[in-house]
Structure 1
Amino acid sequence: MTATLRLAEELIARPSVTPDDAGCLELIAQRLAPLGFDCQRMDSGPASFRVSNLWARRGTGQRPTLVWAGHTDVVPTGPVEAWASDPFVPSHREGKLYGRGASDMKTSLAAMVVACEQFLSATPEPAIDIAFLLTSDEEGPANDGTVVVCNELQRRGERLDWCVVGEPTSVERTGDMIKNGRRGTMSGKLTVKGIQGHIAYPQLAKNPIHMVAPALAELAATAWDQGNAFFPPTSWQVSNIHGGTGASNVIPGTVVIDFNFRFCTESTPEGLQQRVTDTLARHGLQPGTDFDLAWTIGGRPFLTTPGPLVDAVRAAIMDVTGIATELSTTGGTSDGRFIAPICPEVIELGPPNATIHKVDEHIALSDIEPLTRIYLGVLQRLNGRAAQAA
């Protein structure tokens, strides 16, 4: 059993369902402190939803800094009886490691720690600072996790140059895909106000569903942008529509429509919001009088173009696996959205994601050591670059 596999199993054995860290950060801090890391807890949130956060830095804060970022929390298991083995008892079957968090993302955390141990053993006086930014609130609301730590780091003026987030980005084999950016997400809750009445006397009522339907059709057909070389075009989708009393003979007084934008760097939240309001106005709907619209920005898009970090990751993957990795910005959001505003280069790199959030989540044992070696290669290359620059 390798050091990475052993640590991954120790982490999987801790039932850290959001926001319960279940001691994972303490275990990691115990591994990092002897390496010279200053480990600081930045826990946040109310007692009913207390989030565990760890910021650990090795170095003076004056040198180029590589940050390893990730989360210890996992999603609920679903019906335990549907699993072939206990989701919090690491199990091996047919060359695979089973357990909740095996792919998302406790194996990545273990590989990061072990890669640092190996790197510092061979290079006790590196030319770079190394840091860890870990939370137990990535799978949940994400209000008291990475964003809290990033706000504090920004307040302190701490230096961050490169960040690798351990999200499971690969498809078939570890290293075949990395994320060099993510789309932004913004949700809207549109409440259109009509007048409730008897359906047989429509002249005495005002149907909000009829009022908004033409505008919805235009919004659904709108091309918001054309995307770019790294991102697909911005998309707009309705997720829920709620209107009516449940009776078939009552015109509703209101209709509530939930929708979401997944937007690229070609659009801004402010611009998208204005275009929605303008579309409603073209169809005779005025804010305040005919509708209310509340916005929630879940995260802005970020993009890391090829440069020192992408180059180091690509080279490390090629050296370990022989794969020419694919750059991608597909998929949902990650905590990279909180880190990107204070760190110029952020990428995501982890094991295959085919079983994440599923019953019988697992990772191939053959994917574990390559991940550790890739992370080690990234450390070596960025350290070499910093040493040359110095």
Structure 2
Amino acid sequence: MRTTADLSNPLPLAQALIRRPSITPADAGALGVLEAALEQLGFACRRYPFGEVDNLYARRGSASPCFLFAGHTDVVPPGADADWTRPPFGAEADDGLLWGRGAADMKGAIAAMVAAVDRFLAKAGEPDGSIAFLITGDEEGPAIHGTKAVLVALAEEGERFDHCLVGEPTNPNTLGDTIKSGRRGSLNCRLTVTGRQGHVAYPERAENPIPPLLTLLGRLTARELDTGVPHFQPSNLEVTSVDVGNPTTNVIPAAAVARFNIRFNIAHTGDALSQWIRDEVAKANLDFDGRVEADIHVTGEAFLTPAGAFTTLLQDCVEAETGRRPALTTGGGTSDARFIQLYAPVAEFGLVGATMHQIDERVPVSDIESLTSIYTRILTRYFKDFPA
């Protein structure tokens, strides 16, 4: 018989999750820990395995509106255990801090979500609507077999959500600083220029791939994509690698490769940027007796959840608990919100992310408690202000 746990306190669940070394794509039992807690709260749970990745969807109720909590139990590698002050998967709570990989990003927030549901149900009873969880094991990885794949499957099954809150660690310094109401898009490109190898003393017998690659990179980086748009910082193209792999000094290489990333705002789409790159590649091919190719992958489109009743509700609840009114921002990297925004209005709010992905990742236990209170208040206000 399964033991009934006190789920109103988020700390034990956060510790249980951290003690599962769920380094992408391994689950290591983390979803099982969460599934047991949600089943205790009356959620119907379903697993959605895709490839090497396992995912969990849980729902309590069938009516509208449906409030969706979303997040991930996978974590990045901890590095060398010896470099940590506390064991990375020990989940030690000491001097008011919870230590461990995933404490901030984002097992602490998932535990706060579960505790908030427990407190909300104990106080308010059955909501006039539904609560759901979508938790993936692939956010820190390629993000192909996680939230993106599960959302497609759920849509095919007729599942619908009205609003979503993702528990990413959005606060840079203090709990209550920031709500993410949108994200920039991301495009990765690999440029490959293939020429003809030859001796440097006889360039007429070779076709050097390096000059056309540098010329192409110069044209791409010279363009000012934009100067920023409302709610977004300027888009930027960053060259991340230029590789020839030539160990000699007297040989013209056969090929050269470069990689770059574009983080773009809503002034652009992935398709439009991809077409621009292909056009520049076509121009480079005109004057080169070789081959210039671009392998382009758009990993997420830019999006913005407009300020309105939902974002105001979130700001009000954070301010009521912390005394700080969080700013609505769109900076930083990508998250699974880029997939969810195709299905429902989405925002992100979680713990302070100052130590995420670092050695000695840790968060104040008091912040996990405060986040639980914020999430509880959000559920209470949501089912009052967003009737079916």
Q: Shorter-normalised TM-score: what interval?
A: over 0.9
Matched, 1:51 2:53: yes
1:103 matched to which residue of 2?
A: 104
How far apart, in 2, do the equivalents of 1:286 and 1:365 lie?
A: 62
Larger deviation, residues 366-375 vs 275-284: 275-284
In 2: Cα distance, 1:71 partner to 1:64 partner: 23
- Secondary structure at the counterpart of residue 262 of structure 1: strand
Distance apart, 1:288 and its partner CA: 11
Q: Residues of 2 paired with 1:131 and 1:83: CA distance?
A: 35
Contact in 2 for aligned 1:285/1:291 (Cα 8 Å) = no
Which structure 1 segments of 5+ residues have no match? none
1:88 alignment counterpart? 89
After superposition, the C-alpha distances for 1:111-149 in whole angstroms (9 at most, x for unaligned) are 000000111112222122110000111112222111111
Q: CA RMSD in A?
A: 1.9
| AA in 2 matched with 1:108 | A
| Structure 1 partner of 2:355 | 355
Residues 171-196 of structure 1, C-alpha deviations (whole Å, 9 max, x = no match): 22212111111111111111112221
2:211 paired with 1:210 = yes
- 1:341 partner SS: coil
Q: Residue 37 of structure 2: which of 31, 46, 58 is its match?
A: 31
Of the three residues 42, 46, 70, the one matched with 1:40 is 46
Give the SS at the match of 1:315. Answer: helix
Q: Distance in 2 between matches of 1:202 and 1:370?
A: 68
SS in 1 for 2:118: helix
Out of 2, 25, 36, the residue aligned to residue 19 of structure 1 is 25
Counterpart Cα distance in 2 of 1:207 and 1:142: 37
User: Counterpart of 2:133 in 1: which secondary structure?
Assistant: strand
Match for residue 262 of structure 1? 263
The alignment's TM-score, normalised by the length of structure 2, stands at 0.94
Aligned to 1:166: 167
Deviations 1:232-289 (A, max 9, x none): 1221111111225321111112111111111111101121122223334445547996
CA shift digits 1:300-339 (9 cap, x unpaired): 1221111232111101011001101011111111111121
Q: Aligned ranges for residues 144-223 of structure 1 at < 5 Å?
A: 144-223=145-224
1:292 maps onto 2:293 in alignment: yes
In the alignment, what sits opposite 2:338? Answer: 337
Q: Give the Cα separation in 1 of the matches to 2:269 and 2:92.
A: 46
In 2, Cα distance between equivalents of 1:65 and 1:21: 27
Instruction: Work out the percentage of aligned pairs sharing the same amino acid.
Output: 43
Q: How many residues align?
A: 382
Find the aligned partners of 1:137 and 1:356 in 2 and give their Cα distance: 17
Cα pair distance change 1:200/1:147, threshold 3 Å: same
The code of the aligned residue for 1:117 comes to D
